[in-house]
Copies of this chain bind each other. A is one copy, B any other.
Amino acid sequence: MAQVKPMRADARRNRERLLRAAAGVFAEHGAGASLDDIARRAEVGTGTLYRHFPTRQALLEAVYLESVEAIAARADTIAAARQPGAALVAWLGELAVGMLQVRGLKALLGTAVTGAEAVAGRADGADRADRACGDCVRGAAERLVRAAQEAGAVRGDVAPIDVLRLVHGVVTACESAGETDGTAVRRYLSLLMEGLTRA
């Protein structure tokens, strides 16, 4: 229901410029980067940024939507090529590496996927936009986790959302370790799968 009428030419152009600028600035300074910076780099008034993206989350969502969709799509590709248990692990690995290496992706998915959000905001359009990214990832996770559970490869008493939250936690663990390469994340991920118990 979003955009029935096409945007005015200058609006469309400014939106494009903002997205490009935001991608660059987020990549350089992380998801908390200055919005002023983004508007300046896009050569656009700050008000214009707010008109197009009323919240930082909305901007993050727009910038990373394609990446998120690509990750979600990978779930089906992987599921078709592997056993359910191995497929889940492989996909979680790709997801985690993405969150770790693409700055901003973790911030976006952290709030979009895991549910609870900041205290300040009311449930408005921004939340709706979040859901686009969140649904994508949650849907993929649900398919893979359910399949793995039916195949007896994953415990039946964990929900897909639990798995996503724990992966988010694992990525946080890697960040605080200062290890942003894939090997560290994969190691923590396998610890999570197999558990710390047992010698």
Contacts and interface: CB of A to CB of B under 8 A. Distances in A.
Interface of A: 85, 110-111, 114-116, 149, 152-156, 158, 161-163, 165-166, 168-178, 188, 191-199
In order of increasing CB-CB distance, the 3 nearest A-B pairs are A195-B195, A169-B169, A116-B178
A197 B158 contact: no
Given A114-B173, A115-B178, A169-B170, 4 more contacts: A110-B176, A152-B198, A158-B191, A195-B195
SS of A interface (majority): helix
B85 A176 contact: no
Contacts of A166: 169-170, 173, 188, 191-192, 196
Contact of A168 (B85, B176, B195, B196): B176
Given A166-B170, A172-B168, A197 B85 contact: yes
Contact of A173 (B154, B169, B176): B169
A154 B192 contact: no
A7 B85 CA distance: 62
Contact of A192 (B110, B195, B199): B195
Number of copies of this protein chain within its complex: 2
A96 to B, nearest CB: 11
A195 B174 CA distance: 18
Contact of A154 (B154, B171, B177, B197): B197
A149 B191 contact: no
9 contacts: A85-B197, A116-B178, A156-B199, A162-B173, A163-B196, A165-B177, A172-B172, A193-B197, A194-B197
Contacts of A110: 176
A191 B165 CA distance: 12
Given A115-B177, A176-B110, A177-B115, A155 B198 contact: yes
